[in-house]
Structure 1
Amino acid sequence: MTRLVLTPERRAQLVELLSDERRLEAEYPQVAEYLNTAPGLAGTGDDEADRAFDFRMLNYMTGGKLTSDNPYWDIVAPAVTTEGGRRVANGGRPQGSARLAYAQTVLQAGYAYAIPSPETIGWAARFCEGKPLIEIGAGRGYWAAQLSYSGLRVDAYDVEPPDRADNESFPRVVGQTDVWHHVGNADEANIRMQNSADSVLFLCWPPGWDNPMASEALTSFERAGGAHLIYVGEPRGGKTANNTFFDALDNRWQLESVDEQFVSWWNLADTAQGWIRRS
């Protein structure tokens, strides 16, 4: 297990923060709640690994962009193993743990539902081949930020940009970054989608359970002449996208690429796929 190496200054900052419980609760309430709750939950069975995970949560979630460009990955990476040919964040246990499940909810609300490993970001950049990328349903713009760091031009949009609107999935929390990349609203998305023929549509965990967002975004993209899609989510019948979206893929699109290095939470079935529209 790779040990987190901190500068003396950063270590002193964390020691000072931990020694002042009231300050921690005031400045980073989500982290304080996690640190109070997690030790009471069943962990991996490896106390050292569990403590190291909690320490990474403390360091990266209180350090923001100053400690890492991809704190989500830096927190999760040491907990990733390979099970059945899939890379999964499970803490070394096929069934994960209650403690890790709690951390999962905190990280998904704080960053994004899907885990953006460096390998997946590289795969997406290669699939785009320099084409600009349009993300619909971007949430905090965390994936948009990671993809932009790879050199892609990324335009991200959400019906409820977390820095300007109340977003139930990505609520504003003291001490937490609202957005990691500029996130436009629905009106701005509609304008951009009218000129998207040369772009790649990116849908990362679009809502499921018959929510029409995924299919409506794909229809708008097709209408504009778009022909390249990256979909990160679960298969038909899962927690993401709707049947109309999957029907469109079956009828008019061809699966071109699957990221074999994608990292999923152990209790999810999401993958990263690149699709090309049939001519």
Structure 2
Amino acid sequence: MIGRIVVGLDGSDSSWVAADYGIYLSVKLKKPVVGVHIVDIRLLETPFVEDLAGALGFTTYADITPKLKEVLDERGRAILNEFAKKCRERGGDCSIAQTFGIVANELVDMTDPEDLLIVGKTGMHNKFAPLFLGSTSEAVARKSKCPVMITTNKFKEIKRIILAFDGREKSVHAAQYLNDFAKNLSIDKVTVISVLEEKSGGKEEHIKELLESHMNLEYELQFLYGYPEEEIEKYIKENREKIDVVTMGAYGESRIKELILGSTTSYIINKSPVPVLLIK
């Protein structure tokens, strides 16, 4: 099912954890992994460069732009070479690529629908310019045409997977994706949680029928009741030592509804203490 594994690298601790997952999955699934570094062109735009030039004592920002571009380019190549070294040492099938652009856009453009894109939850630039750069991981998750894994600050082998399932199209896709993904990781059984507003009988039966139709591996189904984002977050945090990856459909609501009510996907991306695998 997976064509390539593409890992976004920016040199942050979070992205090195993403690299660990990419190399690990390359070896386990016997798939090629591509380490990608995007030099964010917004770091070369006038307001940011002017401030940096002033801080470093340059008389005009034009004096620093070529130097900054060269430094960022060299730094990116060093990151990619370190990734390639780690990948070779661990037996992964790897390649590397670097370009300039808007990070989220470039990562999305470099992937195909059958790829798996892996990014860290927090990047290097969050430390000094979070408002300027925004949330790259969430932008990638929203724009990507392929599944996206958003990793946290610690690597763990993937042995225990939960699926958050609400019966809508994207969660059905997630259930179908797990059939091969879990099997290829030698995982025979997963846990499925489904959050309903209240006990009704009919909705529970509908969820059960959908899972029976679309999941080919063994699973344990648990129903929770309340607001989806709150109940999913609570379940993950209470069972964090027993969960290696949370799988769910990505952005199932319309953009207008998400703006008014918020997005369960975005909420879980930000709150989950374990990696989140999002399926389109």
Asked if these proteins are the same fold (TM beyond 0.5), I'd say: no
The alignment's TM-score, normalised by the length of structure 2, stands at 0.31
TM-score (norm 1): 0.31
Larger Rg: 2
Which structure has greater helix proportion?
2
Q: Which structure is higher in RCO with an 8 Å CA cutoff and minimum separation 6?
A: 2
Instruction: Report which of the two has the higher share of strand.
Output: 2
